[in-house]
Amino acid sequence: MSARHHAASSPVAEASALSAFARAKLPTRWGVFEVVSFANVAGEPVEHVAIVHGDVTDGRSVPTRIHSECLTGDVFGSLRCDCRDQLDLAISRVADGHRGVVLYLRQEGRGIGIAHKIRAYELQDEGLDTAEANLRLGFAEDLRRYGIAAQMLKAMGIRSVELHTNNARKLEGLEQGGVEIVRRVPIVGPERPENARYLATKRSKFGHLL
Protein backbone atom coordinates (compact mmCIF):
# COMPACT_ATOMS: atom_id res chain seq x y z
CA MET A 1 0.00 0.00 0.00
CA SER A 2 1.47 3.35 -1.00
CA ALA A 3 1.82 6.27 1.39
CA ARG A 4 -0.66 8.29 -0.65
CA HIS A 5 -3.27 5.54 -0.57
CA HIS A 6 -2.67 4.95 3.12
CA ALA A 7 -3.27 8.62 3.88
CA ALA A 8 -6.64 8.56 2.17
CA SER A 9 -8.03 6.29 4.87
CA SER A 10 -9.95 7.57 7.90
CA PRO A 11 -7.93 9.30 10.63
CA VAL A 12 -9.44 6.71 12.96
CA ALA A 13 -8.59 3.62 10.91
CA GLU A 14 -7.24 1.76 13.94
CA ALA A 15 -9.87 -0.76 15.04
CA SER A 16 -8.36 -2.68 17.95
CA ALA A 17 -8.89 -1.53 21.53
CA LEU A 18 -5.99 -0.74 23.85
CA SER A 19 -5.46 -1.43 27.53
CA ALA A 20 -3.05 0.05 30.04
CA PHE A 21 0.24 -1.88 29.97
CA ALA A 22 2.23 -0.20 32.76
CA ARG A 23 2.01 2.82 35.06
CA ALA A 24 4.76 4.59 36.97
CA LYS A 25 5.43 7.81 38.82
CA LEU A 26 7.17 10.44 36.67
CA PRO A 27 8.73 13.40 38.51
CA THR A 28 9.29 16.27 36.07
CA ARG A 29 10.36 19.90 36.10
CA TRP A 30 6.63 20.77 36.15
CA GLY A 31 5.74 18.44 39.02
CA VAL A 32 4.91 14.79 39.57
CA PHE A 33 2.94 12.97 36.87
CA GLU A 34 1.99 9.37 36.21
CA VAL A 35 3.28 7.93 32.93
CA VAL A 36 1.13 5.24 31.30
CA SER A 37 2.04 2.86 28.48
CA PHE A 38 -0.44 0.77 26.50
CA ALA A 39 -0.85 -2.64 24.86
CA ASN A 40 -3.00 -3.87 21.99
CA VAL A 41 -5.57 -6.69 22.24
CA ALA A 42 -2.80 -9.28 21.83
CA GLY A 43 -0.99 -7.82 24.85
CA GLU A 44 1.82 -6.38 22.75
CA PRO A 45 3.06 -2.96 23.89
CA VAL A 46 2.59 0.04 21.60
CA GLU A 47 4.91 3.03 21.34
CA HIS A 48 2.50 5.78 22.40
CA VAL A 49 2.33 6.97 26.03
CA ALA A 50 0.31 9.30 28.23
CA ILE A 51 1.33 11.47 31.14
CA VAL A 52 -1.41 12.11 33.68
CA HIS A 53 -1.71 14.69 36.43
CA GLY A 54 -4.29 14.44 39.17
CA ASP A 55 -7.43 12.33 39.37
CA VAL A 56 -9.06 11.66 35.99
CA THR A 57 -11.05 8.63 37.10
CA ASP A 58 -14.46 10.29 36.68
CA GLY A 59 -13.65 10.38 32.96
CA ARG A 60 -15.49 13.61 32.24
CA SER A 61 -14.27 16.90 30.72
CA VAL A 62 -10.60 16.03 31.26
CA PRO A 63 -8.16 18.68 29.97
CA THR A 64 -6.24 16.85 27.23
CA ARG A 65 -3.48 17.52 24.74
CA ILE A 66 -2.60 15.19 21.84
CA HIS A 67 1.03 15.79 20.86
CA SER A 68 2.78 14.09 17.93
CA GLU A 69 6.46 13.35 18.44
CA CYS A 70 8.96 15.87 17.08
CA LEU A 71 12.52 14.84 17.94
CA THR A 72 14.08 17.95 16.44
CA GLY A 73 11.74 20.29 18.29
CA ASP A 74 10.85 18.43 21.50
CA VAL A 75 14.40 17.24 22.25
CA PHE A 76 16.83 19.41 20.26
CA GLY A 77 14.89 22.67 20.60
CA SER A 78 14.55 23.35 16.86
CA LEU A 79 13.01 26.73 16.01
CA ARG A 80 11.80 25.53 12.59
CA CYS A 81 8.48 24.49 14.19
CA ASP A 82 6.35 25.28 17.24
CA CYS A 83 6.27 21.72 18.60
CA ARG A 84 8.43 22.24 21.71
CA ASP A 85 6.53 25.43 22.55
CA GLN A 86 3.20 23.61 22.36
CA LEU A 87 4.43 20.61 24.36
CA ASP A 88 5.87 22.77 27.14
CA LEU A 89 2.70 24.87 27.24
CA ALA A 90 0.48 21.78 27.36
CA ILE A 91 2.41 20.15 30.20
CA SER A 92 2.53 23.38 32.19
CA ARG A 93 -1.24 23.86 31.76
CA VAL A 94 -1.91 20.34 33.00
CA ALA A 95 0.48 20.83 35.93
CA ASP A 96 -1.08 24.17 36.88
CA GLY A 97 -4.58 22.67 36.87
CA HIS A 98 -5.86 20.03 39.27
CA ARG A 99 -5.84 17.33 36.59
CA GLY A 100 -5.20 16.59 32.93
CA VAL A 101 -3.57 14.34 30.34
CA VAL A 102 -0.96 14.75 27.62
CA LEU A 103 -0.92 11.97 25.00
CA TYR A 104 2.45 11.59 23.26
CA LEU A 105 2.03 9.89 19.88
CA ARG A 106 5.06 8.49 18.05
CA GLN A 107 4.18 10.03 14.67
CA GLU A 108 7.39 11.82 13.74
CA GLY A 109 7.37 14.17 10.76
CA ARG A 110 3.60 13.96 10.25
CA GLY A 111 4.00 10.21 10.13
CA ILE A 112 6.99 9.85 7.75
CA GLY A 113 9.65 9.15 10.39
CA ILE A 114 12.81 10.99 11.38
CA ALA A 115 15.01 9.94 8.42
CA HIS A 116 12.52 11.14 5.81
CA LYS A 117 11.79 14.21 7.92
CA ILE A 118 15.43 15.29 7.57
CA ARG A 119 15.14 14.79 3.80
CA ALA A 120 12.04 16.98 3.92
CA TYR A 121 14.10 19.59 5.78
CA GLU A 122 16.63 19.51 2.91
CA LEU A 123 13.83 20.28 0.47
CA GLN A 124 12.56 23.05 2.71
CA ASP A 125 16.05 24.55 2.71
CA GLU A 126 15.72 24.62 -1.08
CA GLY A 127 12.46 26.56 -0.90
CA LEU A 128 9.60 24.09 -0.51
CA ASP A 129 7.18 24.35 2.41
CA THR A 130 6.56 21.43 4.78
CA ALA A 131 3.53 20.16 2.85
CA GLU A 132 5.27 20.42 -0.54
CA ALA A 133 8.34 18.61 0.80
CA ASN A 134 6.34 15.62 2.02
CA LEU A 135 4.58 15.41 -1.34
CA ARG A 136 7.88 15.61 -3.23
CA LEU A 137 9.12 12.62 -1.22
CA GLY A 138 6.08 10.60 -2.29
CA PHE A 139 4.11 10.90 0.94
CA ALA A 140 0.79 12.55 1.65
CA GLU A 141 0.96 15.94 3.34
CA ASP A 142 -0.02 14.41 6.68
CA LEU A 143 -0.05 10.67 7.50
CA ARG A 144 -0.94 11.05 11.18
CA ARG A 145 -4.04 9.39 12.60
CA TYR A 146 -5.76 10.11 15.90
CA GLY A 147 -8.05 7.14 16.48
CA ILE A 148 -5.28 5.65 18.61
CA ALA A 149 -5.59 8.68 20.91
CA ALA A 150 -9.28 7.91 21.46
CA GLN A 151 -8.34 4.34 22.38
CA MET A 152 -5.72 5.55 24.85
CA LEU A 153 -8.24 7.83 26.54
CA LYS A 154 -10.85 5.07 26.73
CA ALA A 155 -8.26 2.70 28.22
CA MET A 156 -7.90 5.23 31.06
CA GLY A 157 -11.68 5.52 31.46
CA ILE A 158 -11.88 8.99 29.88
CA ARG A 159 -15.01 9.60 27.82
CA SER A 160 -15.04 13.38 27.32
CA VAL A 161 -12.28 15.97 27.09
CA GLU A 162 -11.45 19.64 26.95
CA LEU A 163 -9.08 19.39 23.99
CA HIS A 164 -6.13 21.77 23.77
CA THR A 165 -5.45 21.95 20.04
CA ASN A 166 -5.48 24.09 16.91
CA ASN A 167 -5.88 21.06 14.63
CA ALA A 168 -9.43 20.18 13.54
CA ARG A 169 -8.33 16.66 12.52
CA LYS A 170 -7.68 15.87 16.18
CA LEU A 171 -11.25 16.85 17.03
CA GLU A 172 -12.49 14.61 14.22
CA GLY A 173 -10.29 11.70 15.29
CA LEU A 174 -11.49 11.73 18.88
CA GLU A 175 -15.15 12.21 18.00
CA GLN A 176 -15.08 9.38 15.47
CA GLY A 177 -13.35 7.26 18.09
CA GLY A 178 -16.20 7.82 20.54
CA VAL A 179 -14.68 10.51 22.77
CA GLU A 180 -16.79 13.61 23.33
CA ILE A 181 -15.20 17.06 22.90
CA VAL A 182 -16.64 19.35 25.56
CA ARG A 183 -14.73 22.33 24.20
CA ARG A 184 -11.61 23.24 22.26
CA VAL A 185 -8.91 25.40 23.82
CA PRO A 186 -6.34 27.07 21.51
CA ILE A 187 -2.67 26.32 22.20
CA VAL A 188 -0.48 28.84 20.39
CA GLY A 189 3.24 29.33 20.81
CA PRO A 190 5.31 32.34 19.76
CA GLU A 191 5.88 33.10 16.09
CA ARG A 192 9.53 33.60 15.17
CA PRO A 193 11.34 34.34 11.90
CA GLU A 194 12.49 30.69 11.82
CA ASN A 195 8.96 29.24 12.03
CA ALA A 196 6.85 31.95 10.36
CA ARG A 197 6.50 30.07 7.05
CA TYR A 198 5.82 26.80 8.87
CA LEU A 199 2.96 28.40 10.82
CA ALA A 200 1.59 30.02 7.67
CA THR A 201 1.56 26.59 6.00
CA LYS A 202 -0.26 25.13 8.98
CA ARG A 203 -2.96 27.76 8.56
CA SER A 204 -3.28 27.70 4.76
CA LYS A 205 -2.74 24.01 3.91
CA PHE A 206 -3.58 22.07 7.05
CA GLY A 207 -6.45 24.23 8.29
CA HIS A 208 -4.99 24.83 11.74
CA LEU A 209 -6.90 27.41 13.74
CA LEU A 210 -4.04 29.84 14.35
pLDDT above 60 (res 192): yes
pTM here is: 0.87
Contacts of 162 (CB under 8 A, 6+ apart): 61, 62, 63, 64, 182, 183, 184, 185
pLDDT of residue 14: 44
Q: For residue 85, which amino acid is it?
A: D
SS3 26: strand
Write down the domain spans for the chain. 3-114+144-205
Do 103 and 67 form a contact (C-beta atoms < 8 A)? yes
Do 104 and 51 form a contact (C-beta atoms < 8 A)? yes
Question: What is the mean pLDDT of the segment spanning 5-28?
Answer: 67
pLDDT of residue 209: 66
Q: Is 142 a catalytic residue?
A: yes
Helix, strand, coil percentages (3-state) for the chain, rounded to 5, are: 35, 25, 40
Q: For residue 203, which amino acid is it?
A: R
Please give the order of strands across the beta sheet that includes 19-28: 19-28, 31-39, 45-53, 100-105, 62-68, 160-164, 180-185
Tens digit of pLDDT for each residue in 82-113? 999 999 999 999 999 999 999 999 999 888 99
Tens digit of pLDDT for each residue in 105-152? 999 988 899 999 999 999 999 999 888 998 999 998 888 889 999 999
Q: Which class is 3-114+144-205 in CATH?
A: alpha beta
Catalytic position from the list 65, 93, 144, 145: 144
Separation between Cα atoms, residue 207 and residue 167, nearest integer Å: 7
SS3 65: strand
Question: What is the mean pLDDT of the segment spanning 56-63?
Answer: 94
pLDDT of residue 176: 93
Catalytic position from the list 60, 142, 169, 197: 142
